[in-house]
Structures are given as C-alpha cells and as structure tokens.
Structure 1
C-alpha cells in the first residue's frame, strides 16, 4: 500500500497535536501517561496559589496542584485538586498546609501526615486544609500592636501639645521670656562675682596662707590641750567626786529619816516655835534697851553711887 502525501501529513498533524497536548499538560504538572492519585482540599483563600505549584511531604516534592475551582456549595470557597505522583501513603486525617516557599512569595502545599491514624487516604479523599502564616503575615502580626502603641503615643503627644499651647498664653509667654532674661542677668552677675572673688583671692594669697597657718597652729595647740587633759589623772577625781556625792546622799538620807538635830529642826514644829518666840523676845529686849538704856547701864564720872532711891 502506497502511503500518500496526505496520509503522512495527517499523521504528522495528529502526532504534533498529541505532543502539544502532552506538553501542555506536562507544563501544568499533569502526566497523562502516569496513573496518579488525586486529593481535594478546600481553602477560604489560596493567597496566590496557582496550578502546577508543588505539593511536598517533609520538604520532598510528591506532586502538583492541578486545578483550582470554586466549590459547589455556594460559599465561594476554593477547592484545590492535588495530583500525587509518588506512591507515598499517608492517613486520611493528614493536613494539607498552604505555605510560602521563599521571600518572593511563592506558594506550595505540604502534606502533614498524622501518624497516629492508621486509615490510609485513597484517591479522591478530602484533606483538611490549613494555612501556615507567612513572613508578611508574621510581620503584620508583630507590627499591628506596635502600630497601635505608636498611634496611641502620637495621640497622647497631640494632647500634651494642645495642653502646652493652652498653658502658653500671651501673658505666660511674656513671663517666660522675662524669666529667661532674668536668668541671663543672674548668670552674668554670678560670672562677674566669680571674677571678683578670684581677683580677691589672688590679691590676698599671702593673708589667706597666714590665716591657714594660724588655723593649723590653733589646731595643734588644741591637740596638745586634749592630750594634756587625757594624760591627767581623771579617774581619781571622778572617784573623789563619786565619794562626795555618796556622802551627801547619806546626809540627805539621815535628814529624811528623822535622825540628827538638823532633821529635828526641820521636822519639829515646837523647836521652830520656840526659836521664833525667843527671837521675838530678843528683839523686844533690844528695843527696850534702845529706849531705856539707863535701866540696864549705870555709870558716873565721880564714882559709883551706892545710894538707893
């Protein structure tokens, strides 16, 4: 049978069409010659995931994302079809975690096996979809509290500035300016006083040195006096003083106890009355002697007169 040019052309076209379909599916991560398993995962947001993104387990690629479609339940969730080329097995309760592959934002899905579950997932099963926070989300989580604190600090600063502006009225500003001027004047006066004091010290250096020497000499004399006092026999003096105080206390004790003449004189009213009476009679006698001395004193320039009236 002779193969015509038209047959050869048709075969070439069909071969090219098959190769095109195969290449297209291969670029999408689908190998039409391989009997792969597929699994379904539902996400609320795929965050930039596209078909042909890798599916990994423990960091090793085992398949690709084949399709991304909206779910049929009307919730606008996204249903992901995963093609697994590898024969690795994992449980039905394993998780399909969506994560970032690098800083440039590439996405992939990692199968997180649940080794405690012995039921093996088969082609067509649904896996639980989770999302691992990416670098951008982590940065946002850290920056959000900081942003809130920064906004609060800015608001507080605005309030402080408003309060300061309210306090700084025209009169307050004038007073503040006057205070600054006064402070400047005081500083200048202090500087001038310091200069004068330095000049006085320089001009009276010798006098100051003499005064310091006199103070030093006085201190030495005081030390000598202190040493002399410390060398004195103060213990004997203190003993004698204690003995004197003890004797005085003994006398006071006897007086208080009623023993002795002094105690009787102080406590016996009869003695005091007799003394007071005797003092009164003595005073009357002295007054009578002064008034009538002739009664008590007899003298004559011619001798004693023995006659009696």
Structure 2
C-alpha cells in the first residue's frame, strides 16, 4: 500500500506536536514516560522550597518537587512531588521540609512509617512537617545573644552618658590643669635628680672617706667585741653575786636587834636616849651662851653671880 504525501505530512505534524508536548513537560520537570507516583502535602510556609527541589527517602533522592501552589485565602501552600521508585511506605508517613543554609536550598524528605495499615498510593496527601534549618538554628541561638548585646549597648550608652555628665567642661579643665601640674612636678623632680647627682659627684671623695671611716669603725667594733668576749664575765658575775649576798647580810643584820647597828636603828630606847642627850647638850650650850660668867668666873671672895638667867626649856 502506497502512503500518500498527505498521510506522511499528518504523521509528521502529529509527531512534532507530541514532541512539543513531551518537551514542554520535560522542561517543567515532568517526564510523561515515567511511571512515578505523585503525592501532595500542605504547608502554611514552605521555608524557601522551590520547584525541582529534590525529594529523598533516608537520604536517597527518589523524586523531585513538581509544583507549588496557593490553595486558599489564608495563603496555605500545596506541594506536588513525585516518587520515582516502588518503595512502599504508610499513608501516615511525613513529608518534611528540611535543610537550607547559606548556599544550599531546602529539600523535601519523606519520613516513612512501616506500621500496618493502608499504604500510600498515587495521589495521596501526606502529613506535613518543617524542620528547622541552619539559618533558623543560628537565629534561635543568636536571638538571646542579640538581646544580651542590646542590653550591653544600653549599659555602655548609660555609662558614656554618665561619664559625659561627670566630665563637664569644668572637670575637663581641672583634669588638664592636674596633668599640667603633674608635668611640672616631673620636671622639678628631674631637676632635683640632676642637682642630687651633682652633689654626689662633688662630694664623692668625702663620701668615700666617710664609708672608709665606717669600715674602720666596724672593724674596731668587731675587735672590741672579740675583746669583750675574752673577758671572764662569769667571774665578774660571781663577784657581784657575792657582793650582793654581803649587802643582803648587812641589811639583815641592820634590820635585826642583835648587833649594834640593829639596836641603833631598831631600839626605841636608844633613839629616846639620843634625843634626850641632844636636848641636854642644846640646853647646855644655850646656858653657856646666856651665862658665861657662871662657867668662867674669877672672884677673890667667891661670890655667886646674881645675874643668872636660866636657859629656855630647862629640864625639870
């Protein structure tokens, strides 16, 4: 049977249309010749998940995300993804968005469950879940640190304001004056140090002689110490002890009434006799002074002196 030109043209056009449709879906990430299963999951936020993001099971890529659409007025998103192998998992398995970092994007992982029950089939909607990525974890860790840094900044700002209040123009001027005074003091100390150096330089010979004399005095003192060490201190101490014992004996005898000294010091009769004799002697001297003719008298006839004056306090 001869194929006409019109049939060939029709077959060519249909083939071109089929190739165009196949290429369109292929470019969109859908392979019309692939027998993979299609699943759905609903999220309120896809965390940056994009079309053509990979779908994994236990870390193995088994498909990709084919479509993301807004499904209601609240902004909930429905994700369409494919699974390209025949791995069986329960309908209660979880479609978890994970990953995401500074460079890499988000991915979708199927967390399978193997409990007995209905298995997932093409077109089912799986439970959704979002795992915190690197940026979220860093943000969670940095948020408390940010608050602390803000508190520190506020404290530093308060401290700076306090310093600004303290360091008013008058205080700053006083500080400048203090530093200027300190500078002058240091200059004076430097001049004083130079003067002391000059004095020490001028008097160096005298200082040398002084230190020489001190050395000689130290040597003489050492010699005196050696001589003193050679003295029989034990004998001198014994002599002093004997003298002290003799003095003690003398004091004991003086305190007792046995000896002459003790009687003179301790017997009241001796004191009374001495006191009476002293008074009699005093009266005798007074009588001699008042009546000298009574004791020195030359008379031819032996007449008594009629002008006798008795001494005061005469003994009765």
TM-score, normalised relative to structure 1: 0.70
Cα distance change on mapping 1:276 and 1:3 into 2, 3 Å: farther
Question: In the alignment, is the contact (CA less than 8 A) between 2:90 and 2:119 conserved in 1?
Answer: yes
Name the structure 1 match of 2:139.
140
1:62 Cα deviation from its structure 2 partner? 0.4
Matched positions, count: 279
* 1:164-183 equivalences in 2 (<5 Å): 164-183=163-182
Question: In the alignment, is the contact (CA less than 8 A) between 1:30 and 1:83 conserved in 2?
Answer: no
| Consecutive unaligned residues in structure 2, runs of 5 or more | 258-262, 288-294, 297-316
Name the structure 2 match of 1:48.
48
1:186 Cα deviation from its structure 2 partner? 0.6
- Structure 1 distance, partners of 2:68, 2:280, is 154
- Structure 1 distance, partners of 2:184, 2:83, is 88
Question: In the alignment, is the contact (CA less than 8 A) between 1:89 and 1:120 conserved in 2?
Answer: no
Question: In the alignment, is the contact (CA less than 8 A) between 1:95 and 1:130 conserved in 2?
Answer: no
Cα distance change on mapping 1:39 and 1:289 into 2, 3 Å: same
| Consecutive unaligned residues in structure 1, runs of 5 or more | 252-259, 266-270, 301-309
Whether 1:285 aligns to 2:284 is no
* 1:97-108 equivalences in 2 (<5 Å): 97-100=96-99, 103-108=102-107
Q: CA deviation digits over 1:220-265, x for unaligned, max 9?
A: 555555666677777x589969x96xx98xx9xxxxxxxx988988
- Structure 1 distance, partners of 2:15, 2:58, is 39
SS at match of 1:46: coil
1:278 Cα deviation from its structure 2 partner? 4.2
- Structure 1 distance, partners of 2:229, 2:89, is 102
Name the structure 1 match of 2:65.
65
Name the structure 2 match of 1:208.
207
- Structure 2 distance, partners of 1:87, 1:223, is 113
Question: In the alignment, is the contact (CA less than 8 A) between 2:43 and 2:128 conserved in 1?
Answer: no
Deviates more, 1:85-94 or 1:284-293: 85-94
Question: In the alignment, is the contact (CA less than 8 A) between 1:41 and 1:129 conserved in 2?
Answer: no
Please provide the CA RMSD for this pair. Answer: 4.2
Question: In the alignment, is the contact (CA less than 8 A) between 2:43 and 2:76 conserved in 1?
Answer: yes
1:196 Cα deviation from its structure 2 partner? 1.5
* 1:113-132 equivalences in 2 (<5 Å): 113=112, 117=115, 121-123=119-121, 124-132=124-132
Question: In the alignment, is the contact (CA less than 8 A) between 2:93 and 2:126 conserved in 1?
Answer: no
